[in-house]
Amino acid sequence: MSPFNLETCCRPNILALEPYRCARDDYKDDGTNILLDANENAYGPPITTSSSPSLGGPEINLLTLHRYPDPHQSPLKSLLCSLRNTHSHTSKTLSPSNLFVGVGSDEAIDALLRAFCRPGLDSILVCPPTYGMYSVSAQVNDVSLVKIPLTPAPVFGLDIPTILSTLSDTTKNIKLAYFCSPGNPTGSLLSKEDLRQVLEHPTWNGVVVLDEAYIDFAPDDASLAEWVLEWPNLVVMQTLSKAFGLAGIRLGAAFTSEPIARVLNSLKAPYNVNNLTSAIAEYALSQDGLAKMRENKAKLVEQRERLIQELPKINGVGRLRGGTASNFLLYEMLNGEGKPDNKVALAVYERLAETKGVVVRFRGKEYGCEGCLRITVGTEEEVTRLLTALEKTLVEVRG
């Protein structure tokens, strides 16, 4: 018999990992459900057909797939820079040398940990409630977490005094500080001046990572991508999964200083972004693609405003717990005493999916989110169905 023993052979931090879970682990799409759980763009990608460019689709030559993709992705990077060169935050201009592109933002999250953190020695700072993959990637890389919760009122924000003092503690060996703006699940846009204070820390030798996955749903020029030209230790991550409706192609980008970009591009796999992904992304970033993306975004913003107006009218729906700068909203579910209640919220989440075919996301176990459901903004038809289903479900659950 082989002496192999997984328990002693595998790294302990990997053995301890729990697989990433989402609402669709419990509630699959059977063709009748409406999926308002994963913050996807309900109006789809900025492509009108999957065929030729003349019909509104990307040019994809399938006969060239025997060739490896361009490892540098210069045309794609140029288009991403053109999108973010607004000169709202600096007079300088982004270039492809300021970019890393990869398989979603998750590749950049992991690459930064591998580049800057020594396993078993260093740590990262996160501000819960926040995106879960920061902690998952940290555990994979055997890197510790330092948690500084967001301030809860009036909307979620950074606890700057505590963050600054924590970064000053050299015994914690913090190398990266991950901030999410707009936040997930909070939907709140972080203050530029708060971020400036972190970047101006007089002694901390580390990298500020700003995750802007939902930035295109925020007010115009909210992105700080071009600010990386002013700060050598700033990384701004973005994705085509949300406003561009291209979650299926897994394309993320990290804007940063040229030295950090060189580090990230040096450690990535040689051909990490495939030809099909590149072609679709380049089309989405073309003038036609951008026009369609903005059209779809406007529809989602209209439905977001509709939800903000209509949800408070439903008996049992409490406060909007976060901000309104994304394509989702975080709302409290109330018990009979008018208090946010995890038992009620979990029951509503389950019944919505099981009896009404509406899948949202229960977030009540996260810091500051007691009794909360995170609801992705859907199409007009989906929002109508959600509102009706939620009102009926709250009556059923609360009695």
Q: Closest by alpha carbon to 195, among 89, 341, 320, 353?
A: 89
Bridge-based pairing of strands 361-362 and 372-376 is antiparallel
In CATH, 6-45+294-398 is 3.60.20.10: no
Bridge-based pairing of strands 34-35 and 358-359 is parallel
Cα 183 to Cα 136, 187, 190: the distances in Å are 17, 5, 8
Exposure letters 2-31 (e unless 16+ CB within 10 A, then b):
eeeeeeeeeeeeeeeeeeeeebeeebeeee
Tens-place pLDDT, residues 37-82: 888 888 888 876 554 444 456 777 777 778 888 889 999 999 999 9
Distance CA 275, CA 180 (A): 29
Q: Closest by alpha carbon to 224, among 81, 83, 79, 88?
A: 88
How long, in residues, is the chain? 399
Distance CA 100, CA 297 (A): 25
For residues 377 and 329, the answer to whether their CB atoms sit within 8 Å is yes
User: Which residue type, as a one-letter code, is found at position 82?
Assistant: S
Residues 6+ apart with CB under 8 A from 247: 38, 40, 41, 241
Distance CA 393, CA 72 (A): 51
In order, the DSSP letters of 217-246 are GSSTT---GGGGGT-TTEEEEEESSSTT--
For residues 226 and 98, the answer to whether their CB atoms sit within 8 Å is no
pLDDT of 57 reads 63
Fold assignment, 62-289: Aspartate Aminotransferase; domain 2 (3.40.640)
For residues 174 and 310, the answer to whether their CB atoms sit within 8 Å is no
What residues does 210 pair with on adjacent strands? 179, 236
H/E run at residue 175: strand 174-180
Domains of the chain: which residue ranges?
Answer: 6-45+294-398, 62-289
Cα 81 to Cα 153, 254, 256: the distances in Å are 35, 11, 11
Q: Closest by alpha carbon to 245, among 217, 270, 219?
A: 217
Distance CA 214, CA 180 (A): 9
Ranges under pLDDT 50 in the chain: 51-55
Q: Could you tell me if residue 339 is left (phi over 0), alpha (psi between -120 and 50 degrees) or otherwise beta?
A: beta
Burial of 336 (0-12, 13-18, 19+ CB in 10 A): exposed
Q: Closest by alpha carbon to 295, among 250, 329, 244?
A: 244
Global pTM? Answer: 0.90
